[in-house]
Amino acid sequence: MGHKKVCLECKVTLNRPFDSGSELTYPCPECGKSMTLLPHRFRPPKKSENKKWETIKFLIDNGFYFQHIYEKIETKNGVTSYQNYVAYPDNLRDAKDFVLKYKSQARQ
């Protein structure tokens, strides 16, 4: 399954097959800066949708790389179960609440 390489500066998204080595530091073809690796389920907004791109940058800066986030995590008898994926927000106000609520699931 492929991944998406995203340049938050140029708002460029490239579909690429996953490579656990060099692809992690893939340079942007437009500006040369390092692109961010996101999962295939990430759906980029149009280049002109600046507020959505600002929200995406805020989420990534806070450790949310569009990985699965779960609404409910339970541990019973040493067994952890995850339920109900949470949808990522598409505006900055909701993203701030999202980061606070799910900060325990952010990538470090």
| 47 has a pLDDT exceeding 90 | yes
* C-alpha angle 43-1-84 in degrees, rounded to nearest 5: 60
* C-alpha angle 106-25-54 in degrees, rounded to nearest 5: 50
Written as six digits, the tokens of 91 are: 């505006």
Q: pLDDT-based confidence at 20, cuts 50/70/90?
A: low
pLDDT: which is higher, 52 or 37: 52
Cα-flanking dihedrals φ and ψ of residue 70, to 5°?
-110, 140
What is the average pLDDT across 19-36?
78
Q: Where are the domains of the chain?
A: 1-44, 49-108
Written as six digits, the tokens of 64 are: 């949310």
pLDDT of 66 reads 95
If you search the block for the tokens 């390092």, which residue do you land on? 34
Written as six digits, the tokens of 34 are: 């390092």
Least trusted range by pLDDT, from 23-27, 40-44, 99-103: 23-27
pLDDT of 18 reads 61
pLDDT of 88 reads 96
DSSP annotation string for 23-55 = GGGPBPTTT-PBPEEEETT-----TT-HHHHHH
DSSP three-state, residue 9: coil
| 51 has a pLDDT exceeding 90 | yes
pLDDT: which is higher, 44 or 108: 44
Closest CA to 97 of 62, 66, 54: 62
